[in-house]
Structure 1
Amino acid sequence: MIQKTIIRTGFSSLLALLVCVVPAVAAETVVYTAKLIRTLEPALPQATAVAVEDGKVLAVGDLDSLAPLIASRGARIDRQFEQYVMTPGLIDPHVHPTLPAVLTQFPFLAPDDWYLPTGDFPGATTPEGYKSALVNLVSEHDNAEVPFVSFGYHPLWHGEVWREDLNEWFGDEPVMIWHRSFHELIGNDAAWNFLGVTKEDADAIPHGANWERGHFYELGLRAVFPRMGFLFEPARYMKGMQNFLSMMHESGVTTAADMGTGIFGNAVSEIQAVKAAVANDPVGVRVLLTPIITDFITRQKTAEEALAEVREWQTMNDDQVTVGNHFKLMIDGAIFSGLSQMGAPGYLDGHMGVWMVDVPTLEAFAKTFWDAGFQIHAHSNGDAATARFIDLLEHLQRVSPRADHRMTLEHFAYSTEDQNRKLAALGAAVSANPYYHYILSEMYSGDWLGPDRGPQMVRLGSLEQKSVPVGLHSDSPMAPLSPLTLMWTAVARENISGDKTGQAEVMTREGAFKAITIDAAWILGLEDEIGSIRAGKAADFTILADDPMTAPLEKLRHIEVIGTVFAGEAHRN
Structure 2
Amino acid sequence: MRRPTAFAALLLALTAPVAAQETTLYRGGPIVTMDGDTPQTVEAVVTEGDRIAFVGSEKEARKVAGDNAAVRDLKGATMLPGFIDAHSHFTVATQMAGGLDLRAAPTPPADIPALQAAIRAHIAARAMPPGQWAIVWQYDQEALAEKRHITRAELDAVAADRPILVLHVSLHGAVANSAALAAAGIDEATPVPPGGIMPRDAAGRLNGVLLEKAMFLMLAKMPQPTAEQKLAALDAAQDAYFAEGYTHAQDGATLPPDIAFLSSDAARQRLRIDLALLPFSTGLDALLAQPDLSFGTYTDHVKLQGIKFVLDGSVQARTGFFTRDYARGSPEGTHPWHGQPVLSEADFVAQAKKAHDRGWQLFVHANGDAAIDMAIRGFDALGIKAADDRRPVVIHSQFQRRDQLPAYARIGVGPAYFSNHAWYWADVHRTNFPAEVVDFISPLRSARAAGLTPSNHSDFSVTPLDTRFMLWTSMARVSPTGVVSGADERLGAYEALQALTTGPAWQAFEEDRKGRIKPGLLADFVILDKNPLTTPVEQIRNIRVVATIKEAKMVWQAPLR
TM-score interval for Structure 1 and Structure 2 normalised by the shorter chain: 0.7 to 0.9
Shift of the alpha carbon at 1:515?
Answer: 0.5
- List gaps (5 residues or longer) in structure 1: 1-25, 115-119
Shift of the alpha carbon at 1:140?
Answer: 2.7
| 1:200-236 CA distance string (max 9 Å, x none) | 783374534456112333222332223223x322344
1:279 and 2:274 aligned = no
1:219 and 2:213 aligned = yes
**Which residue does the alignment assign to 2:280?**
292
Structure ranking higher in helix proportion: 1
Alpha-carbon distance between aligned partners in 1 of 2:483 and 2:358, rounded to the nearest angstrom:
46
Give 1:40's aligned amino acid: M
Q: How does 1:6-21 map to 2 (within 5 A)?
A: none
Give 2:175's aligned amino acid: I
The 3 A distance-change label for structure 1 pair 551 and 311 is farther
Determine which of 419, 426, 429 is the counterpart of 2:414: 429
- List gaps (5 residues or longer) in structure 2: 1-19, 200-204, 330-335
1:48 and 2:43 aligned = yes
Alpha-carbon distance between aligned partners in 2 of 1:495 and 1:373, rounded to the nearest angstrom:
41
Q: How does 1:333-344 map to 2 (within 5 A)?
A: 333-344=313-324
Counterpart of 1:532 in 2: which secondary structure?
A: coil
**Which residue does the alignment assign to 1:5?**
none
Shift of the alpha carbon at 1:313?
Answer: 6.3
**Which residue does the alignment assign to 1:202?**
190
| 1:478-524 CA distance string (max 9 Å, x none) | 11112222111111101133433321221222211101011110011
Alpha-carbon distance between aligned partners in 1 of 2:379 and 2:502, rounded to the nearest angstrom:
24
Determine which of 354, 371, 375 is the counterpart of 1:368: 354
**Which residue does the alignment assign to 1:538?**
522
Counterpart of 1:68 in 2: which secondary structure?
A: helix
Normalization by structure 2: what TM-score? 0.85
| 1:231-251 CA distance string (max 9 Å, x none) | 322344334433321210110
Alpha-carbon distance between aligned partners in 1 of 2:505 and 2:189, rounded to the nearest angstrom:
43
How many pairs are equivalent?
521
The 3 A distance-change label for structure 1 pair 527 and 128 is same
The 3 A distance-change label for structure 1 pair 208 and 276 is farther
Give 1:353's aligned amino acid: G
Normalization by structure 1: what TM-score? 0.84
Alpha-carbon distance between aligned partners in 1 of 2:197 and 2:428, rounded to the nearest angstrom:
24
Alpha-carbon distance between aligned partners in 2 of 1:473 and 1:107, rounded to the nearest angstrom:
24
Alpha-carbon distance between aligned partners in 2 of 1:224 and 1:417, rounded to the nearest angstrom:
38
**Which residue does the alignment assign to 2:17?**
none
Determine which of 383, 394, 405 is the counterpart of 1:420: 405
Counterpart of 1:563 in 2: which secondary structure?
A: strand
**Which residue does the alignment assign to 1:189?**
178
**Which residue does the alignment assign to 1:266?**
257
Alpha-carbon distance between aligned partners in 2 of 1:466 and 1:205, rounded to the nearest angstrom:
39
Is this contact kept in 1: 2:192–2:214, CA < 8 A?
Answer: no
Is this contact kept in 2: 1:202–1:209, CA < 8 A?
Answer: no
Alpha-carbon distance between aligned partners in 1 of 2:392 and 2:111, rounded to the nearest angstrom:
40
| 1:126-184 CA distance string (max 9 Å, x none) | 44554444444344342226322211222223233111121234343542211111121
Give 2:356's aligned amino acid: W
The 3 A distance-change label for structure 1 pair 276 and 411 is farther
Which moved further from structure 2: 463-472 or 238-247?
238-247
The 3 A distance-change label for structure 1 pair 557 and 346 is same
Alpha-carbon distance between aligned partners in 1 of 2:316 and 2:247, rounded to the nearest angstrom:
27
Return the index of the structure with the highest Cα Rg.
1
| 1:250-276 CA distance string (max 9 Å, x none) | 1010011222121xx435434336x64
**Which residue does the alignment assign to 1:13?**
none
Alpha-carbon distance between aligned partners in 1 of 2:367 and 2:483, rounded to the nearest angstrom:
23
The CA RMSD measured in Å over matched residues stands at 2.7
Alpha-carbon distance between aligned partners in 1 of 2:357 and 2:181, rounded to the nearest angstrom:
44
Give 1:100's aligned amino acid: A
Is this contact kept in 2: 1:445–1:451, CA < 8 A?
Answer: yes
Give 1:199's aligned amino acid: D
Counterpart of 1:181 in 2: which secondary structure?
A: coil
The 3 A distance-change label for structure 1 pair 125 and 311 is farther
Which moved further from structure 2: 424-433 or 246-255?
424-433
| 1:325-367 CA distance string (max 9 Å, x none) | x222221122332111011245553334231222222112222
Alpha-carbon distance between aligned partners in 1 of 2:280 and 2:184, rounded to the nearest angstrom:
28
1:154 and 2:144 aligned = no
Shift of the alpha carbon at 1:467?
Answer: 2.7
Shift of the alpha carbon at 1:417?
Answer: 1.2
**Which residue does the alignment assign to 1:565?**
549
Alpha-carbon distance between aligned partners in 2 of 1:563 and 1:60, rounded to the nearest angstrom:
20
**Which residue does the alignment assign to 1:165?**
154
Is this contact kept in 2: 1:202–1:223, CA < 8 A?
Answer: no
Alpha-carbon distance between aligned partners in 2 of 1:328 and 1:286, rounded to the nearest angstrom:
18
Shift of the alpha carbon at 1:386?
Answer: 1.1
Shift of the alpha carbon at 1:121?
Answer: 4.8
Determine which of 313, 323, 328 is the counterpart of 2:304: 323
Give 2:141's aligned amino acid: P
Alpha-carbon distance between aligned partners in 2 of 1:254 and 1:478, rounded to the nearest angstrom:
20
Shift of the alpha carbon at 1:381?
Answer: 0.3
Alpha-carbon distance between aligned partners in 2 of 1:561 and 1:335, rounded to the nearest angstrom:
32
1:30 and 2:24 aligned = yes
Alpha-carbon distance between aligned partners in 1 of 2:406 and 2:111, rounded to the nearest angstrom:
39
The 3 A distance-change label for structure 1 pair 174 and 208 is same
**Which residue does the alignment assign to 2:391?**
406
**Which residue does the alignment assign to 1:7?**
none
Determine which of 430, 438, 446 is the counterpart of 1:445: 430
Counterpart of 1:244 in 2: which secondary structure?
A: helix
Alpha-carbon distance between aligned partners in 2 of 1:55 and 1:386, rounded to the nearest angstrom:
40
Is this contact kept in 2: 1:49–1:62, CA < 8 A?
Answer: yes
Give 1:351's aligned amino acid: W
Is this contact kept in 2: 1:472–1:483, CA < 8 A?
Answer: no
The 3 A distance-change label for structure 1 pair 415 and 315 is closer
Give 1:430's aligned amino acid: P
Alpha-carbon distance between aligned partners in 1 of 2:435 and 2:386, rounded to the nearest angstrom:
40
**Which residue does the alignment assign to 2:14?**
none
Is this contact kept in 2: 1:341–1:353, CA < 8 A?
Answer: yes
The 3 A distance-change label for structure 1 pair 204 and 358 is closer
Determine which of 363, 366, 371 is the counterpart of 1:385: 371
Shift of the alpha carbon at 1:547?
Answer: 0.7
Is this contact kept in 1: 2:477–2:490, CA < 8 A?
Answer: yes
The 3 A distance-change label for structure 1 pair 38 and 77 is same
1:245 and 2:245 aligned = no
Alpha-carbon distance between aligned partners in 2 of 1:464 and 1:268, rounded to the nearest angstrom:
34
Determine which of 60, 70, 77 is the counterpart of 1:77: 70
1:137 and 2:122 aligned = yes
**Which residue does the alignment assign to 1:18?**
none
Is this contact kept in 1: 2:363–2:395, CA < 8 A?
Answer: yes
Give 2:310's aligned amino acid: M
Is this contact kept in 2: 1:178–1:186, CA < 8 A?
Answer: yes
Is this contact kept in 2: 1:291–1:310, CA < 8 A?
Answer: no
Shift of the alpha carbon at 1:377?
Answer: 1.5
**Which residue does the alignment assign to 1:21?**
none
